[in-house]
Each structure stands twice: as structure tokens, then as C-alpha cells.
A and B are shown apart, each in its own frame.
Chain A
Amino acid sequence: EAQVTQNPRYLITVTGKKLTVTCSQNMNHEYMSWYRQDPGLGLRQIYYSMNVEVTDKGDVPEGYKVSRKEKRNFPLILESPSPNQTSLYFCASSPLTGGYEQFFGPGTRLTVL
């Protein structure tokens, strides 16, 4: 089944404890992206990647890191999480550039205490 997977789906952590949210797609898509979604603010892009080893900042990159060492994987790293990073996070992928239809993972609900 063609899909985007994320892990974990739910995470409660404490301020300053490094964490990684994994994202993987099995559709051989070139483009991958991370979004966060907050009430009243909608979906906001954190980082995106056009291809392996090519990443760039989105609208809200502060406090996040990403890497793209393999085409299928695009992990999101929070090196020192803070409570304002409590949010619902989505990974998405697209077959070509990001301007085409994007397919979303199931989401990761993160709470930072």
C-alpha cells in the first residue's frame, strides 16, 4: 500500500529532551515536507526537501532540524524542545516538486511539558 508513515503517533516529553520524529514514504517521491498545525494558525511548513541531501527552510524552521540521507526517509529533529513546539505534526510527500499534490502521513501529536 502506497503510504507515508510517521512515528511515534503520540509523544509527551519534557523541555530540553532531544527527540526525533521519523517519516518514511514508499512511493519513491522526490519531495518531502514537514508541517505543524496549530488551532487558528493552520498548516505551516517547517522544512522541505527536493531530493536526497537537499533541504531548505519553510516558514517556521526555528528549533527544528531535518536530514535527507535516503530518498524514502525525512526525520524531524527537535534538539531542545520547548512548550511552544507542542503541536500536531504532519509529514508529506509529493512525486515531483512541492507544487504538485502532496500526500500526508497520519500525524504526530507532540506535547512538550
Chain B
Amino acid sequence: QKEVEQNSGPLSVPEGAIASLNCTYSDRGSQSFFWYRQYSGKSPELIMSIYSNGDKEDGRFTAQLNKASQYVSLLIRDSQPSDSATYLCAVNSSGGGADGLTFGKGTHLIIQP
């Protein structure tokens, strides 16, 4: 059974600080990793994808991947109240992706003004 684990939170971060969200996964053969942002009652929105070890930056967001430790993280710099949402980590399967992505249950992030 493929698993993706996230701390459910809530994670409370002051406005302007760095928010750090973490995710571990069980399928050692996974190749594709994604972070989605989901506001309450809305659909998940893709914000970052990462495929190789190291860091990937996009604006205020940085995704970090360590395949040896089976760990992926998302850093949000200069956190804004509008970043308050649930962040879902998603990982593909090693079997070619036929059955899609496995999602973590999400971390609820609260940015305090």
C-alpha cells in the first residue's frame, strides 16, 4: 500500500515568516512529486512539481526533494495571509503512473497577520 504522510497541523506561522511543510512517502520507486494548495471547499490547485533531488524555486515557493530519505518539503517565504490553506503532497506510483497520484491528507497552514 503506497502511503504519503503529512502532519495535519494546524501549522501556525506569523506573516512574513517562512512556512515549512513536510511530506514523507513509502514508494521508493516514485519519480514525480507535487504540491497542491486547497482552500476550504475549493479544488486542489497545483503550485509546485519536482522530479529530481535538490531544490526547485518558483517565486516565494521552494520545493525540496530527497529521494534517499523519501522526503519532500515545501517552503513558503514571506508568508501572506492568503497562503492560509491546506497543502497536499502528491506522489506518483513507481508502476508507470497508470493509477495516478497518491495524496497525503494535507497540512492545514494558518498565517497569522
Contacts and interface: CB of A to CB of B under 8 A. Distances in A.
B40 to A, nearest CB: 11
A31 B100 contact: yes
Interface in B78-113: 88, 90, 92-93, 96-101, 103-106
B70 interface: no
Contacts of A50: 98
Interface residues of B, number: 24
14 contacts: A31-B100, A40-B105, A42-B105, A50-B98, A90-B43, A96-B97, A97-B98, A98-B101, A99-B31, A99-B96, A100-B32, A102-B46, A104-B44, A107-B42
Contacts of B34: 101
A62 interface: no
A104 B38 CA distance: 11
A42 B100 contact: no
Contacts of A106: 42-43
B98 A98 contact: yes
Contacts, number: 68
B45 interface: yes
Nearest to A4: B43
Contacts of A42: 88, 103-106
Interface of B: 31-32, 34, 41-46, 49, 88, 90, 92-93, 96-101, 103-106
Interface residues of A, number: 27
